[in-house]
């Protein structure tokens, strides 16, 4: 590895723009674009992701709360569920979620496939059941044929449904942010202020939790290390999964990729702006009061983490048939 880098450096010697060795030791790595993927599953999963018929009302799809036009989230403090129920927690972004150590704020799903079945059957979210969702899909010949083509199965089950949705979600990677361009050697990709923000992000300790390819998403940490965090919500975090008192208020560290688009912030969505989020994180997690200038520098750095957003054709869904169970939006 060292040899390779020296070699690269010698090849690039004399160029001012590219200097890969300078970033070789950074605690944040550039996002790798999507590599191996099952494209047939992706195309099916994209339809399912956008299909509100997986909800009881026929109105709510995965994309309702993880909106791919808006950073893979709904930009609400907490989400709106069936019958306009107020959700208990902020909808995390689906962008780059395949890089997470586990899914949900409390990590109760091991991976995207395990996650995908949750909201469909949650009475406060899509309020359907897996049986109902399958009945809907099996009543639609175009879906039956596509499941047969993709999974070689005559009987659709929730297993194929969540597998296809998860495979689609794996494509929702956002490479090529300005910060990644800088990591990859383009020194001009960041302004001096943004670079100062990054240095401050590292020297202040933010990097201790927000690191790696996703700049977070790879550990659980207590919300409120130095000072306790006051939340209007009741979420207990990891303790709800492990049953251990020591895990109370431990939440999965959110990715900071595309953080400019994924407002509002924290598991309860109570920080509306990046400025607020940086200020609160500094005080509660690090015992630091950032000056306005420091805060602005860190925010400037964070905005360089916005990558190429998912780019795809809006899917067209196959129509229901006379046999499709009708949606029940009211009552």
Tokens of 301: 């750095």
Stretch of 107-115, 184-192, 214-222, 310-318 lying at the interface with a second copy (CB under 8 A): 310-318
**Residue 67 binds to a second copy (criterion: CB under 8 A):** yes
Taking the least distance from each CB to a second copy, the nearer of 14 and 331 is 331
Taking the least distance from each CB to a second copy, the nearer of 86 and 293 is 86
Query: Are 29 and 183 in contact, with CB atoms under 8 Å apart?
Result: yes
> Nearest distance from residue 319's CB to a second copy, in Å?
5
Query: Are 278 and 299 in contact, with CB atoms under 8 Å apart?
Result: yes
Query: Cα(182)–Cα(192) distance, rounded to whole angstroms?
Result: 12
Residues 6+ apart with CB under 8 A from 221: 209, 250, 251, 253, 285
**Helix crossing, 112-121 with 158-170: angle to 10°?**
120
Binders of a second copy: how many residues, by CB under 8 A?
Answer: 43
Taking the least distance from each CB to a second copy, the nearer of 51 and 247 is 51
Longest dimension (CA), the chain: 71
> Nearest distance from residue 247's CB to a second copy, in Å?
29
Active site residue 125: yes
**Helix crossing, 141-151 with 130-138: angle to 10°?**
100
**Residue 26 binds to a second copy (criterion: CB under 8 A):** no
> Nearest distance from residue 165's CB to a second copy, in Å?
15
Q: Which one among 28, 48, 74, 280 touches a second copy, defined by CB under 8 A?
A: 74
Query: Cα(211)–Cα(199) distance, rounded to whole angstroms?
Result: 13
Q: Which one among 59, 199, 226, 244 touches a second copy, defined by CB under 8 A?
A: 59
Q: Please tell me which residue in 2, 26, 125, 293 is annotated as part of the active site.
A: 125
Host H or E run for residue 169: helix 158-170
Stretch of 11-19, 47-55, 92-100, 217-225 lying at the interface with a second copy (CB under 8 A): 47-55
CB atoms within 10 A of CB 85: 15
Query: Are 73 and 262 in contact, with CB atoms under 8 Å apart?
Result: yes
Q: Report phi then psi at 85, rounded to 5.
A: -65, 145
**Residue 4 binds to a second copy (criterion: CB under 8 A):** no
**Residue 319 binds to a second copy (criterion: CB under 8 A):** yes
- Which positions from 144 through 183 interact with a second copy, judged by CB under 8 A? none
> Nearest distance from residue 84's CB to a second copy, in Å?
4
Binding residues for a second copy (CB under 8 A): 50-53, 57-59, 64, 67-71, 74-76, 80, 83-84, 86, 260-261, 263-264, 272-273, 275, 309-317, 319-320, 322, 326-327, 329-330
């Amino acid at each position: 590895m060292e040899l390779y880098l020296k070699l690269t450096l010698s090849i690039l010697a004399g160029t001012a723009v590219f200097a890969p060795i300078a970033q070789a030791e950074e605690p944040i790595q550039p996002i790798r674009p999507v590599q191996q993927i099952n494209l047939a599953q992706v195309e099916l999963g994209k339809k399912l992701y956008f299909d509100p018929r997986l909800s009881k009302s026929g109105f709510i799809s995965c994309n309702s709360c993880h909106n791919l036009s808006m950073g893979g989230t709904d930009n609400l403090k907490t989400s709106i569920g069936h019958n306009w129920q107020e959700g208990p927690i902020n909808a995390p972004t689906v962008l780059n979620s395949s890089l997470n150590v586990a899914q949900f704020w409390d990590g109760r799903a091991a991976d995207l496939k395990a996650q995908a079945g949750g909201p469909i059957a949650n009475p406060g979210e899509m309020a359907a059941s897996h049986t109902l969702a399958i009945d809907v899909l099996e009543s639609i010949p175009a879906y039956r044929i596509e499941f047969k083509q993709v999974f070689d199965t005559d009987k659709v089950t929730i297993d194929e449904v969540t597998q296809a949705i998860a495979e689609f979600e794996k494509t929702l990677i956002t490479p090529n942010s300005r910060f990644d361009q800088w990591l990859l050697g383009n020194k001009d990709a960041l302004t001096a202020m943004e670079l100062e923000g990054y240095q401050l992000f590292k020297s202040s300790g933010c990097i201790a939790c927000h690191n790696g390819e996703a700049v977070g998403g790879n550990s659980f940490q207590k919300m409120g290390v130095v000072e306790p965090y006051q939340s209007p919500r009741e979420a207990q975090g990891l303790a709800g999964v492990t049953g251990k008192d020591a895990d109370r208020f431990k939440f999965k560290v959110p990715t900071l990729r595309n953080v400019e688009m994924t407002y509002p912030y924290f598991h309860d969505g109570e920080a509306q702006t990046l400025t607020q989020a940086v200020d609160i994180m500094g005080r509660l997690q690090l015992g630091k009061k950032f000056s306005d200038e420091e805060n602005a520098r860190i925010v400037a750095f964070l905005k360089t983490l916005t990558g190429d957003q998912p780019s795809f054709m809006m899917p067209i869904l196959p129509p229901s048939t006379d046999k499709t169970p009708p949606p029940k939006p009211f009552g």
